Amino acid sequence: MGLTELLKKRNRKLLFTTPSHGQKFFIFSKFRQFYKYDISETDAYNPQEALKKAQKYAAKIYGTNYTYFLTNGSTSGVIAAVLACTVPDDKVLIWDNAHICHSNAVKLAGCEPVFYSVDEDKNWGIPFAVTADVIEERLKKDKIKAVVITSPTYEGNIADVGKIKSVCETYGAYLIADEAHGAIYPFSEKLPESAVKIADFTVQSLHKTAGGLNPTALLHSCCKIDPENALKMINTTSPSYPLLASVEKNIRYLNSSKCRKKIDELVENINLLKKECGLSNFGGSDPLKILVKVPDLKGHELSQILYEKYNIEDEKTNEVSTMLLCGIGTDLKKTERLKRALKKILSKHKCEV
């Protein structure tokens, strides 16, 4: 029985267990259904067994050795991956501008951080993706146990993960890919290649682009190491089964032909938007991140116009450009509205050739 089916079938025994809201007593009525499905891991229907099965099935879909459902974001996945493949005092190579969970992971593992830097793409005010050469240069100098890369970057630059993996192999280092922003990649040929089957560990936030609830995420392992024990060190012993069941459903949906078609259409809509608004106004290599630049406007000015005049909120802005994030929920209506706004803004401002 899958997790979702199990939650629907709930134990009808008289429960003197946690959670003691009794699946009926809800404090916030909007969450009524959520309470109904909120059960304990010791529930007689054995949700732990159902979870194991759901994760095994997910590993099959992704083609990994192990896939774990996370209910504390990619943050917990990165920490668990570092804990899983290092021992205290090992050196771990991380980006000096990475998400805070990378340095926290190294700290929690009792390891020593070694940093690499990545140049900034001044044209767009965003970091480039890390290259295999940058990684190799550091690996030559130090005995490094694990390398953590971010691909895609927040703004959508993609690293050559295959090349970086070969370099890591040459120097005997594990590769951990933070693919928090690329959870949707494995489900469309029109998107960049996912790191899932390349890196030793890959971490993905389902909640960022793949339709998941905050803070659902995945930790995959393609190497011999099973990160289960590492996860046990940082996870609660009372996981949220409604969230875990949502992950199970989420993955099945992502893998469906309906969803794959929807993602392909989304990419086409975005490509069309870019073409109609002038391709030179757009940067980055992840189609789901619309990185836009209007030549005589600063990024913050563009962001403000979008917000105040067109009721459109972006994800991130810098001096030069503004980034709008798309995902499964970005339908044609949304991209059309953004296109109309951008066309109007661009027609009033000088276009870069």
Q: Which residues bind ligand PLP (CB under 6 A)?
A: 73-75, 99, 101, 150, 154, 178, 180, 205, 215, 217
Q: Which is nearer to ligand PLP, 217 or 243 (CB)?
A: 217
Query: Which residue of the chain is nearest ligand PLP when measured via CB?
Result: 73
Q: Which is nearer to ligand PLP, 35 or 242 (CB)?
A: 242
Q: Which is nearer to ligand PLP, 91 or 99 (CB)?
A: 99
Cβ atoms of 346 and 294 within 8 Å: the answer is yes
CB of 11 to ligand PLP, least distance (A): 31
Q: Which is nearer to ligand PLP, 6 or 196 (CB)?
A: 196
CB of 108 to ligand PLP, least distance (A): 14
CB of 31 to ligand PLP, least distance (A): 22
In angstroms and rounded to an integer, the radius of gyration of the C-alpha atoms of the chain is 22
Which of 204, 210, 226 has the alpha carbon at shortest distance from 69? 204
Q: Which is nearer to ligand PLP, 7 or 212 (CB)?
A: 212
CB of 129 to ligand PLP, least distance (A): 12
CB of 202 to ligand PLP, least distance (A): 12
Cis peptide, bond prior to residue 242, ω within 30 of zero: no
Give the DSSP H or E segment for 162.
helix 161-170
Q: Which is nearer to ligand PLP, 99 or 145 (CB)?
A: 99
CB of 219 to ligand PLP, least distance (A): 11
Token pair recorded at residue 96: 């000096």
Chain centre distance of CA 225? 21
Token pair recorded at residue 255: 């893998």
Q: Which residues contact 192 (CB under 8 A, 6 or more apart)?
A: 152, 158, 182, 185, 285, 286
Q: Which is nearer to ligand PLP, 199 or 217 (CB)?
A: 217
CB of 174 to ligand PLP, least distance (A): 18
Q: Which is nearer to ligand PLP, 215 or 278 (CB)?
A: 215
Q: Which is nearer to ligand PLP, 150 or 321 (CB)?
A: 150
CB of 177 to ligand PLP, least distance (A): 10
Which of 149, 145, 70 has the alpha carbon at shortest distance from 109? 145
CB of 205 to ligand PLP, least distance (A): 4
Which of 83, 240, 103 has the alpha carbon at shortest distance from 174? 83
Q: Which residues contact 222 (CB under 8 A, 6 or more apart)?
A: 64, 65, 196, 197, 198, 199, 200, 201, 202
| Cα–Cα distance, 226 to 224 (Å, whole number) | 6
| Cα–Cα distance, 322 to 292 (Å, whole number) | 5
Beta strands in 167-292 (DSSP E): 174-178, 201-205, 217-221, 282-283, 289-292
Residue found under tokens 């997910």: 58
